[in-house]
Amino acid sequence: MNTFFTLAMTSTASQTEGAGGSSAITMIILMVVLFAAMYFFTIRPQKKQQKKEQELRDSTQVGDEVTTIGGICGRVVSVKDESVVIETGSDRVKIKFMKYAIATNHTANEKLQAEREAARAAMQENKGKKSKKNKDESKED
């Protein structure tokens, strides 16, 4: 009976070792795929957003209309390395904030919107010229 038990244990152990090797490789591949998916769906977009926000804060200039993360709106009066002084309202109250407290730059957004509209208008103008040119060519034929 002892020999049968020993023989059964030996064959079971060898089967487990064979299955364990492929199972370990499968587990490693699954972990790599999971990490890659997490990187592309969460980490990468977050880093892009942080980079975009940092560029917005670095491009803040005197005269820009900004809104802070606390909801205070005002015009930038002074820009230093890490701080910004904004002037709020007609009573000209000046408040000093850290640059990271700027949530939106309305002046930069308006400039970007104007550039987009100009590009759209130019594209539509080019389409109009092309369609007019095509009509003129078809009339000549």
- Whether 7 and 13 have beta carbons less than 8 Å apart is answered as no
| Per-residue model confidence (pLDDT) at position 129 | 72
The pLDDT > 70 percentage for the chain reads: 77
The residue out of 17, 32, 58 marking a domain boundary is 58
| Per-residue model confidence (pLDDT) at position 22 | 85
**Number of helices (H) and strands (E), helices first, in the chain?**
3, 5
Residue-range definition of the domain harbouring residue 66: 61-140
User: 80 and 15: one domain?
Assistant: no
The residue out of 43, 58, 73 marking a domain boundary is 58
Q: Is the pLDDT of residue 138 over 60?
A: yes
User: 37 and 2: one domain?
Assistant: yes
User: 129 and 81: one domain?
Assistant: yes
| Per-residue model confidence (pLDDT) at position 136 | 62
Instruction: Locate 27 and state its tokens.
Output: 């587990």
Per-residue pLDDT band for 137 (boundaries 50, 70, 90) equals low
Q: Can you name the residues that pair with 76 across neighbouring β-strands?
A: 86
Section 40-50 average pLDDT: 92
Highest mean pLDDT among 17-31, 52-66, 115-129: 52-66
Residues 6 or more apart whose CB falls under 8 angstroms from that of 103 comprise 66, 67, 68, 69
Per-residue pLDDT band for 90 (boundaries 50, 70, 90) equals confident
User: 42 and 84: one domain?
Assistant: no
Range with the poorest average pLDDT among 44-58, 73-87, 88-102, 127-141:
127-141
The residue out of 58, 78, 103 marking a domain boundary is 58
User: 40 and 76: one domain?
Assistant: no
